[in-house]
């Protein structure tokens, strides 16, 4: 992109010219490059983009389902860009005409097409890139407009933050609060040398963190043990963390402090590289940046905001609700939804959903919508590009139905409710996870050796060397695999780790917190 920007500057200085580049095709629709696309449209009169695809990271396939290969031996897809600036056009009135074409298929087919075709014989589609993203790829304008009618999550819940980042998860996070406490006590112990701590706990100084400074800080803190709190390291994965800048580089306490008290938070990614959007997860404790997706950071949106500790009475926005909390919902949004439903707003908890509506009703409604399969499939591309937008119904019956589904989903995700069981556990044992492995149908030899021929046509999850769970669908095992990653202590098996329904549409119509692996 730097070379493209330099060439753009050079042609602007010259006044006219043609720029031709073959580059990574990510800039065509990545929201991060929206300013770049807008700038290119202001600098050139005509822009031609031939997307050669071949992105193995996205597992791209040709539209008819055939194989799609890169023209180079790389994973990232590429595109040819031709940028034309004509002499004599006043700069202020310049607005490029953007044309686009696709080229799919195997490498030889693409080479042959590129050798035989030229700009004049290519079937270009003329685009109309619009604010705020100025995409250089064809879009369904009607669907974009439909999606934009919903309320953007950040407009509904304005207080949010990227999850906490320790940059040393192995030290700052643990299943056992007493083990974490012992580590901090070691830091405070003046008889323990820095080098011994570095070797034992693999602690490395960085530009932002130094072991000696951390030790001095924690020794001077008379209330040091109060920083140990429960956190949700991943969904269903409850651990403890030391929430202080002494140990964590970014504890995000300006927002995460609200999650140290009774609360709910919605954790959502702004963008995702995943094949499909599934990035909306509830929490009732502080959450890390990598909570909903192993590759993409997620923001935590707390439902309630608590008063700042230590403020004098009358100097804060304390309410009569428990703990003086107030909902993290924009006043304009509250007025809109109450008016749209024709209900009276209650500032805490739930309403009766007939005459009154409250913050937790809204939370459940949003959670149900974001887990609707129809919603996720219809707005698949938009959800990968920015925070979700939520359509708000005026149908009170539909609202109540979705609230009930959202309530149930929240209960399932907190393991407070029991879903219909699809798996069987035919072998007695203590349900301790010591080994997690998946065998697909056809790998019967492995299963016969370990658990007998009766498992030959089943999906099985092996735990402790024995096939203990049968009938587990392949698509639901990713959570088990993630739970098995990394050095973790054996712990009781979660009864329902995989049965978390994602479809709440109405019938009638886990890695280190910050991604730094050691």
Instruction: Give per-residue pLDDT as tens, 114-124.
Output: 999 999 999 99
Residues comprising the chain, all counted: 518
pLDDT at 517 exceeding the cut of 50? no
Fill in the DSSP letter of residue 288.
B
- Greater model confidence, 320 or 49: 49
d(CA 461, CA 489): 18
Confidence of residue 309 (pLDDT cuts 50, 70, 90): confident
pLDDT at 503 exceeding the cut of 80? no
Average pLDDT estimate for 11-22: 93
What pLDDT digit, counting tens, does each position of 141-163 carry?
Answer: 889 889 999 999 999 999 999 99
Nearest C-alpha neighbor of 512 from the set 237, 277, 269: 237
What does the pLDDT read at residue 422? 72
CB contact at 8 A, 309 and 318: no
Nearest C-alpha neighbor of 296 from the set 514, 451, 77: 514
185 in helix, strand or coil?
A: helix
State pTM to two decimals.
Answer: 0.75
Q: At what angle do helices 177-188 and 194-201 cross, to 10 degrees?
A: 150
Question: What is the rounded average pLDDT for all residues in the chain?
Answer: 84
Cα–Cα distance list, 447 to 150, 187, 497 (Å): 50, 48, 22
Give CA 123 to chain center in angstroms. 37
Q: How many CB atoms lie within 10 A of CB 321?
A: 16
Please list the alpha-helical segments (H only) found in 303-358.
Answer: 331-341
Q: Which two tokens stand for residue 491?
A: 């712990």
What pLDDT digit, counting tens, does each position of 175-209 carry?
Answer: 999 999 999 999 999 999 999 999 999 999 999 99
- Greater model confidence, 472 or 506: 472
Q: Which two tokens stand for residue 48?
A: 């031609």
Q: Specify the DSSP element, H or E, that contains 324.
A: none
Q: How many CB atoms lie within 10 A of CB 191?
A: 6
């Amino acid at each position: 992109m730097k070379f493209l920007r330099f060439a753009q500057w050079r042609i602007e200085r010259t006044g006219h010219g043609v720029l031709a580049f073959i580059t990574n095709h990510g800039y065509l629709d990545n929201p991060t490059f929206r300013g770049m696309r807008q700038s290119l449209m202001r600098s050139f009169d005509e822009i031609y983009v031939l997307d050669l695809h071949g992105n193995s990271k996205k597992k791209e396939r040709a539209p008819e389902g055939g194989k799609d290969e890169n023209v180079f031996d790389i994973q990232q897809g590429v595109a040819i860009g031709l940028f034309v600036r004509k002499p004599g056009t006043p700069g202020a009135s310049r607005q490029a005409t953007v044309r686009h074409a696709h080229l799919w298929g195997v490498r030889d087919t693409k080479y042959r097409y590129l050798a035989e075709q030229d700009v004049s014989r290519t079937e270009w589609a003329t685009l109309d890139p619009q604010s705020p993203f100025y995409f250089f790829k064809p879009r369904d304008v009607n669907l974009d407009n439909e999606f934009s009618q919903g309320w953007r999550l950040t407009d509904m819940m304005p207080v949010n933050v990227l999850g906490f980042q320790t940059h040393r998860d192995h030290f700052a996070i643990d299943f056992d609060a007493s083990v974490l406490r012992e580590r901090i006590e070691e830091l405070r112990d003046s008889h323990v040398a820095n080098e011994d701590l570095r070797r034992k706990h693999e602690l490395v100084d960085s530009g932002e963190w130094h072991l000696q400074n951390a030790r001095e800080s924690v020794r001077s803190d008379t209330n040091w043990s109060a920083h140990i709190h429960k956190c949700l390291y991943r969904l269903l994965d409850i651990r403890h963390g030391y929430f202080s800048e002494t140990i964590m580089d970014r504890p995000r306490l300006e927002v995460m402090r609200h999650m140290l008290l009774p609360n709910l938070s919605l954790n959502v990614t702004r963008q995702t590289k995943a094949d499909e959007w599934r990035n909306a997860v509830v929490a009732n404790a502080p959450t890390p940046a990598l909570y909903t997706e192993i590759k993409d950071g997620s923001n935590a949106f707390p439902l309630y905001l608590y008063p700042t500790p230590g403020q004098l009475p009358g100097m804060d926005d304390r309410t009569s609700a428990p703990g003086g909390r107030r909902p993290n919902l924009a006043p304009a949004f509250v007025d809109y939804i109450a008016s749209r439903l024709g209900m009276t707003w209650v500032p805490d908890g739930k309403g009766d959903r007939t005459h009154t509506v409250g913050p937790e009703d809204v939370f459940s409604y949003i959670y149900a919508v974001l887990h609707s399969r129809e919603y996720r499939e219809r707005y698949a591309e938009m959800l990968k590009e920015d925070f979700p937008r939520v359509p708000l119904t005026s149908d009170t019956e539909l609202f109540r139905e979705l609230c009930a589904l959202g309530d149930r989903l929240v209960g399932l995700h907190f393991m407070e409710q029991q879903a219909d069981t699809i798996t069987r556990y035919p072998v007695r044992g203590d349900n301790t996870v010591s080994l997690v492995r998946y065998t697909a149908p056809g790998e019967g030899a492995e299963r016969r050796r370990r658990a007998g021929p009766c498992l030959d046509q089943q999906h099985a999850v092996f735990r402790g060397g024995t096939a203990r769970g049968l009938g587990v669908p392949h698509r639901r095992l990713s959570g088990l695999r993630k739970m098995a990653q990394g050095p973790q202590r054996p712990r009781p098996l979660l009864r329902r780790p995989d049965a978390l329904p994602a479809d709440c549409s109405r019938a009638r119509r886990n890695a280190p917190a910050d991604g730094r692996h050691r």
